[in-house]
Structures are given as structure tokens and as C-alpha cells.
Amino acid sequence: MNIPSIDAEALHRKARQLRLRILEAIAKAGKGHIGGAYSCLDILVALYHGKVLNVDPRNPKWPERDRFILSKGHSGIALYAVLSDLGFFDVAAMNTVCQDGSSLGEHPDHRIPGVEIDTGSLGHGLNIGAGMALNAKMDGLPYFTFVLLGDGECYEGTVWEALLFAAHHQLNNLVAIIDRNRQITLDFTEDCIRLEPLEKKICDFGWDVVMVDGHSYEKLNAVLKASRQPESRKPLAIIANTIKGKGVSFMERQLKWHHGMPNAQEIEIARKELSSP
Amino acid sequence: MAMNMDGSKPIDLRDALFDAVHAMASKDPRVIFITADMGSWSLTRFREHLPGQFINIGISEQNMIGVAAGLALEGKRVFVYAIIPFLVLRCLEQIKVDLCMMNLPVTLIGGGPGLCYASDGPTHHAIEDVSVMRALPGMTIYNPCDQYAAQAAVRQAFDQQGPVYIRLDKGRYDIIHKPDAAFEDGVISLKSGAGLLIIGTGIMTQQALKIAEMLRPAACGVGIADLFRISPLPCRKLLDLIKKSTHIITLEEHVITGGIGSAISELLADNNLNIPLRRIGIADVYCSQYGCRECMRKSVGLDDVSIKNNIVKWIGAANC
């Protein structure tokens, strides 16, 4: 399989820049889910800046575009950072997140250019994505549907209904990416309700499953681009092992930063870390 | 049982409705029908004729709403079917987020309104769904009382840009409406009167007609109206009927909290109308015994005699 290569270092630089924008937006908003935004940001940058997704910022509703659903809607600010950086809408809008009268709330809204559906309630995205993928199969359309879920979201029973459905209908144009940061709000997933062995469970539901380092652009690029050239009739789940709070040392793997709000001193430390090369 | 215009017997409401969807699907490949493992003769015909437009999604109603939303986002006209409690109450949040918030043209066909699944017990009864669905912004609710109303609900749902909920009863019922009745008005006057007005919905409109007969000869000028579209409430047409009346009865096989009685009382309040209203429906209880539908109705005071006595007691025999 011929996988186009990427400039991993350039993507890392881009991700640092976007993490800083997310930090500034959350500082201005006075609220946000920074930990999960940072755990999935490299996946989003790999998908969008790494040109896995076939999308056009000048024509967000282009019929042949790939469909991307951020099912873990509480990481909306990470998606806004990526979409605005690519020109789906003005980067200046990042300063308005959660502000009075803004079109950018904490969770994605289908009226935002580049956003397919409303999310924020967990356990909806994969079902809707399965419907979109089924539509492509019915009509012989070439687009792929990518859905990014949180691992905590996999506690929702609807996720497993969608896994059953997509496998039965052989939706190999559907890719589920699980941001496996192993944390929920109050606990670590394996201490709350065990998800492991997650790979085996999803495999047993009739999906192909691959594991990947969710912060390695080389590995993400290889897996994500290969997903567009399916060799089986099964849908594909990518379990991306990630670190919640990735990129800011004191936030990494700390439960506090699910939706903790950094104080002025912490913001300054985070700024320095994200600004240094 | 009243005959059709052409002399044929009434058909089962489910067949009337599903055959109407089938006819649309035959002409328009965008029409997709998804069932959560519920069937009927007419659906068997649909599935055999158009297998590519028919999905049995299994007993997974929440997934059904999500998949329907995904298909609708891509331009399909989707009809989904399940028993009401599992379609409406189990999936309420999917209906809100996946359909109403994005105003998607998905039609929810809920089987078994009220006490339809009588001896199946309260898990299968649908006596709270109208209250719940009325609260959802953008949701249109149809409650057909005969085969022509059922077919009209499908036609109107197809023309709708947003989500629609149709309460679908089962069985053969008297033909009440003409095929070309003004269903688009949302409420249809079946008998005009200048005193008591009974507003029924769904097959309770059938019962309203029986009650009116029972009130005779005392009943001079009892008006009967069929509330075909519960939401959005056809306010103007209802006000035209209400303003001609001295007393109003609402009749529903549903809890009175949030049902059509509540909707009419809101209409009266919002229009500063001081007309006596009696809401006849199910009180704040789940049925605690089993039996046929008529038996269940009797247990909650919704059989013909109980309703008649309720009305007579309320406004006095002299006024009936």
C-alpha cells in the first residue's frame, strides 16, 4: 500500500501553535475541557493538516467531502482550532468561544462551517456516522465517514449498538477513532468500569481494530491514510493511545484537568511550555 | 362498521399508513423505512418489493434514530417504526439531539397509542408520549383516527421539513373522515354545535362520536372535533370552534398531565377565554390490572358509560 508521507515536525509545530490558541481561548472563556482537547488534538491535526480528510474549507458542504464527526463534543475547542486554522472560519472567532452572542459554544453546532452535526451528548456520533456511511454504500458515493469518540464515551450502550450495526452492514467506509486517554472526569477508566481488553471487544463485534500512538504523526498518518484503502469489508476502529492534557507538563494524566480552569500562574507556565520550540 | 366510499370495508390503520409510505417509496428512492423488528402484512409487501429501501435494524431503537439522522443528513426521507414507549421514551434524548436540534425530516411512527397494547401491561402502554413530545421544539405530532387520517399523516409528514411523530393505532375503525377532508387544518369539525364541544384525538374521536349518541336525546347540539394534529396546535381553527361553545370536553387515552387537555387549557389561558373545560383522560396512575383494551379503559374511567356519566355529572343532565 502506498501511503503518502508527511512532514511530522511541521505538524508537531502546528499542534503546539494550536494548543496555545486553545489555552488562550479557554483562558478568555473562563471555562473549557482542556485535558480532552489536548489528548485528541494530534489526531485532529493528523486528519486535517495531514490531509487524510478530503475536505475543502472554501466549500464546507461540498457533497463529496469526507464526513468527520467529533462525537466527544466536549473537545469542540480543539476542532474549532483546527477548522479555523484551515480557513473554515476566521481564526479571530477563537477569541469568542463561549462569549455572549458567539456562534462557538463549548460543544459543536452544525451551523459552524466544517461541523457536520451537533454533539455534546455522548454516544450519538457513531450511530449518526453509521447512517452517513450507509448512505454512501446505498448510493455508491466515494466519501468516507470518520468519527472521533472518547474512551469514556464507550460506556454508552449506543456505541455498541452502532458497532453491531456497522459490522453487519459491512460499512468499511466508516472509521471510528477512539481517543484512549484512559481518563474520565472523576476517575481513570480502568478504576471506574473496566474497558480493557477494548481491542478484543471491538474485534469481537466484527470490526478491524488497530492500535496506534495518538501523538505520533508518522504512525497516525500511516494508519489513517491506510484506512481509506480498506482491504476487508469490516469497518475500522483505531484505538489511539493518548495522554490527557498532552503538551502541558502539569496537566498530563492529571484528573483535575478534565475541565479544570488554570489560574494566572498556571496559564503563564503553560504558555511558556507551548511557546518553547 | 361504516364502509368506505366505494363500499369496501375499512382497512387496518397500520396497512393504510404503511401502504401510503410504500406508495411514496415506489416513486421516490430517497424514501427509506426502518423498523425496530416490528412488522405487518403491508410491511412484508414493502420489504419484498423494495428490499433496498427497507431495513430491519433489530431491537435497537436508539441506534435506529441515530442511523435515521445520518441518512436524513444525506438527503434521505426516513420513516422509522417501533412501539411507542421504546421509540419515544427510550429514545427521547436521541430524538431531541439527533432530530429536533438539527430539524431533520425523519418521521417517527409510534405503534400502539394509549392502552392499545392492553394486556401487555404498562411497559407497552403509551400514556405519556404526547406530553413528552409536545415539549420538543420543532416536533409535529399527528394522531390519526381513521384510515384516511392515517394516509393524510403520511402525506403531510413527507412534505414536512422537520421531524414528525405519528401515533399509529392498530385495527379497523369506522371511516370518520372523507378522503379529501381538510387534514391540513389540523382539527376537523365532525359535528357542529352551540353548547358542549367534545375534542377527541386519535381513536378517542371514535369514542366521542359514540358518547354524543349516548347523550341524546338530551344532547342538543353537541359538537365533535377531531384533533388530528396535536402539535403545533391548530390554534386559529380551534379558537373558531371553541368560541362557539359553552363547555369543552377533551377526550384522550393518555394522562391528563400534558396531553391534549393541557394543550387546550393553555390555549384558553393564552387567549383570556373563560370557558369551562373538563379534561377526560387517565389520572396520575399506571394500570394495575390486565385485560382487553375495553377492560383497561373501564379500569381508568375511559369506557363509554363512565365518560358519559362523567360528562353528565359535570354539566348536569339538563345542559347535555
- Among the four given CATH numbers 3.60.21.10, 3.40.50.970, 3.30.1490.20, 3.40.1260.10, the one describing domain A8-275: 3.40.50.970
**Listed residue (B194, B185, B310, B207) closest to B253, CA to CA:** B207
Residue type, B57: I
Residues with Cβ within 8 Å of B300's Cβ and at least 6 positions away in sequence, in order, are: B115, B282, B283, B285, B287
Place of cell 484551515: A86
How high is the pLDDT of residue A2? 79
- For chain A, say whether B24 makes contact (Cβ under 8 Å): no
Cβ under 8 Å to A: B residues 55-84: 57-58, 60, 62-63, 65-76
Q: Do residues A71 and A148 make contact, with C-beta atoms less than 8 angstroms apart? A: yes
User: Which of A51-55, A66-70, A272-276 is predicted with the least confidence, judged by mean pLDDT?
Assistant: A272-276
Name the burial class of residue B270, with classes exposed (0-12), middle (13-18) and buried (19+) by CB atoms within 10 angstroms of its CB. exposed
**Listed residue (A65, A67, A79) closest to A108, CA to CA:** A79
Q: Give the CATH number of the domain where residue B161 resides.
A: 3.40.50.970
Q: Do A127 and B65 touch (CB under 8 A)?
A: yes
State the Rg of chain B over Cα.
19
**Mean predicted confidence (pLDDT) in B199-205:** 98
Judge whether B173 lies within some domain. Answer: no
State the Rg of chain A over Cα.
18
Assign B318 a pLDDT band (cuts: 50, 70, 90). Answer: low
CA distance A68 to chain B (A): 12
**Which of B168, B203, B238 marks a domain boundary?**
B168
- For chain A, say whether B102 makes contact (Cβ under 8 Å): yes
Tell me, yes or no, whether B27 and B164 share the same domain. yes
Q: Are strands B140-142 and B229-231 parallel, antiparallel or unpaired?
A: antiparallel
Q: Give the CATH number of the domain where residue B307 resides.
A: 3.40.50.920
Place of cell 464507550: A154
Q: Do B101 and A118 touch (CB under 8 A)?
A: yes
Nearest CA in chain A to B78: A131
Please state, in angstroms and as integers, the Cα–Cα distance from residue B296 to each residue in A197, B115, B123, B287, following that order.
49, 7, 14, 7
d(CA A146, CA A130): 10
Q: Which of A115, A161, A171, A173 to mutate to test the interface with B (most CBs of B within 10 A)?
A: A161
Q: Is the pLDDT of residue B4 over 90?
A: no
How high is the pLDDT of residue B260? 98
Number of residues in chain A? 277
Tell me, yes or no, whether B144 and B196 share the same domain. no
Which residue in the set A118, A162, A164 is minimally distant from B66, CB to CB? A162
Tell me, yes or no, whether B164 and B201 share the same domain. no
ipTM field: 0.96
Tell me, yes or no, whether B293 and B231 share the same domain. yes
DSSP chain B: -PPPTTSPPP-BHHHHHHHHHHHHHHH-TTEEEEESS---HHHHHHHHH-GGGEEE--S-HHHHHHHHHHHHHTT-EEEEEEEHIIIIITTHHHIIIIIITTT--EEEEEE--BTTTGGG-TTT-BSSHHHHHHTSTT-EEE---SHHHHHHHHHHHHH-SS-EEEEE--SB----S-TT--GGGSEEEEE--SSEEEEE-TTHHHHHHHHHHHHTTT-SS-EEEEE-EEES--HHHHHHHHTT-SEEEEEEEEESSSSHHHHHHHHHHHTT----EEEEEE-S----S---HHHHHHHTT-SHHHHHHHHHHHH-GGG-
**Mean predicted confidence (pLDDT) in B205-229:** 87
Please state, in angstroms and as integers, the Cα–Cα distance from residue A258 to each residue in A152, A187, A252, A263, B242, following that order.
12, 10, 10, 15, 56
How high is the pLDDT of residue B5? 58
What are B190's three cell numbers?
A: 365532525
Nearest CA in chain A to B68: A131
Which residues of chain A are within 8 Å of residue B94 when distances are taken between CB atoms?
A: 124, 127, 158
Nearest CA in chain B to A138: B52
DSSP B272-318: T----EEEEEE-S----S---HHHHHHHTT-SHHHHHHHHHHHH-GG
How many domains does chain B fold into? 2
Angle (deg, nearest 10), helices B147-159 and B13-27: 30
Nearest CA in chain A to B77: A135
Name beta bridge partners: B108: B80, B165
Letter string b/e over residues B210-245, b meaning 16 or more CB atoms within 10 A of that residue's CB: ebbebbeeebeebbbbbbbbbbebbbebbeebbeeb
Tell me, yes or no, whether B194 and B257 share the same domain. yes
pLDDT digits (tens, 9 = 90+) for B13-28: 999 999 999 999 999 9
Residue type, A26: I
How high is the pLDDT of residue A3? 85
Place of cell 390486565: B290
How high is the pLDDT of residue B151? 98
Mean pLDDT, chain A, integer: 96
d(CA B71, CA B80): 12
Task: Measure the CA angle with vertex B298, ends B297 and B299; round to 5°.
Answer: 90
Helix (H) or strand (E) holding A150: strand A145-150
Which residue in the set A110, A131, A157 is minimally distant from B70, CB to CB? A131
Tell me, yes or no, whether B33 and B154 share the same domain. yes
**Listed residue (A210, A135, A116, A102) closest to B30, CA to CA:** A135
pLDDT digits (tens, 9 = 90+) for B63-120: 999 999 999 999 999 999 999 999 999 999 999 999 999 999 999 999 999 999 999 9
Q: Which of A128, A141, A145 to mutate to test the interface with B (most CBs of B within 10 A)?
A: A128
Tell me, yes or no, whether B208 and B304 share the same domain. yes
pLDDT digits (tens, 9 = 90+) for A9-45: 999 999 999 999 999 999 999 999 999 999 999 999 9
CA distance A127 to chain B (A): 5
Chain centroid to CA A250: how far? 22
How high is the pLDDT of residue A276? 82
Give this prediction's pTM: 0.96
Which residues of chain A are within 8 Å of residue B73 when distances are taken between CB atoms?
A: 116-117, 128, 131-132
d(CA B165, CA B91): 13
**Percentage of chain B modeled with pLDDT above 90:** 90
- For chain A, say whether B98 makes contact (Cβ under 8 Å): yes
Tell me, yes or no, whether B154 and B29 share the same domain. yes
**Which of B168, B202, B221 marks a domain boundary?**
B168
Which residues of chain A are within 8 Å of residue B58 when distances are taken between CB atoms?
A: 164-165
Q: Do A118 and B102 touch (CB under 8 A)?
A: yes
- For chain A, say whether B103 makes contact (Cβ under 8 Å): no
Which residue range is the domain that position B280 belongs to?
186-319
Judge whether B181 lies within some domain. Answer: no
Name beta bridge partners: B200: B226, B251
How high is the pLDDT of residue B319? 59
Tell me, yes or no, whether B125 and B191 share the same domain. no
d(CA A120, CA A139): 29
How high is the pLDDT of residue B219? 54
Q: Which of B33, B92, B95, B97 to mutate to test the interface with A (most CBs of A within 10 A)?
A: B97
Which alpha helices (DSSP H) does chain A contain, by range?
A: 8-29, 34-48, 76-86, 125-139, 157-168, 189-192, 198-204, 217-227, 264-275
Name the burial class of residue B37, with classes exposed (0-12), middle (13-18) and buried (19+) by CB atoms within 10 angstroms of its CB. middle
Angle (deg, nearest 10), helices A125-139 and B61-73: 50
How high is the pLDDT of residue B2? 59
Tell me, yes or no, whether B147 and B190 share the same domain. no
Q: Do A124 and B66 touch (CB under 8 A)?
A: yes
Which residues of chain A are within 8 Å of residue B106 when distances are taken between CB atoms?
A: none
Q: Do B62 and A132 touch (CB under 8 A)?
A: no
Which residues of chain B are within 8 Å of residue A129 when distances are taken between CB atoms?
A: 70
pLDDT digits (tens, 9 = 90+) for A222-231: 999 999 999 9
Helix (H, G, I), strand (E, B) or coil at A247: coil
Starting at the edge strand found earlier in the chain, the sheet holding A208-213 runs A67-70, A145-150, A174-180, A236-241, A208-213
**Listed residue (B288, B199, B192) closest to B235, CA to CA:** B199
End-to-end CA distance of chain B: 26
How high is the pLDDT of residue A82? 98
CA distance B133 to chain A (A): 19
Name beta bridge partners: B78: B32, B106
Assign A4 a pLDDT band (cuts: 50, 70, 90). Answer: confident
Nearest CA in chain A to B57: A165
pLDDT digits (tens, 9 = 90+) for B294-313: 999 999 999 999 999 999 99
**Listed residue (B196, B194, B143, B190) closest to B165, CA to CA:** B143
Helix (H, G, I), strand (E, B) or coil at A64: coil
Tell me, yes or no, whether B53 and B121 share the same domain. yes
Q: Is the pLDDT of residue B7 over 90?
A: no
Task: Measure the CA angle with vertex B195, ends B192 and B198; round to 5°.
Answer: 65
Which residues of chain A are within 8 Å of residue B69 when distances are taken between CB atoms?
A: 117, 127-128, 131
Which chain A residues touch B if contact means CB-CB below 8 Å?
A: 110, 116-118, 120-121, 124, 126-136, 138, 157-158, 161-162, 164-165
What are B315's three cell numbers?
A: 354539566
Residue B278: what are its φ and ψ, rounded to 5°?
-120, 120
Residue type, B150: A
How high is the pLDDT of residue A1? 74
Tell me, yes or no, whether B26 and B137 share the same domain. yes
Which residue in the set A132, A161, A165 is minimally distant from B74, CB to CB? A132
Which residues of chain A are within 8 Å of residue B67 when distances are taken between CB atoms?
A: 127-128, 130-131, 134, 165
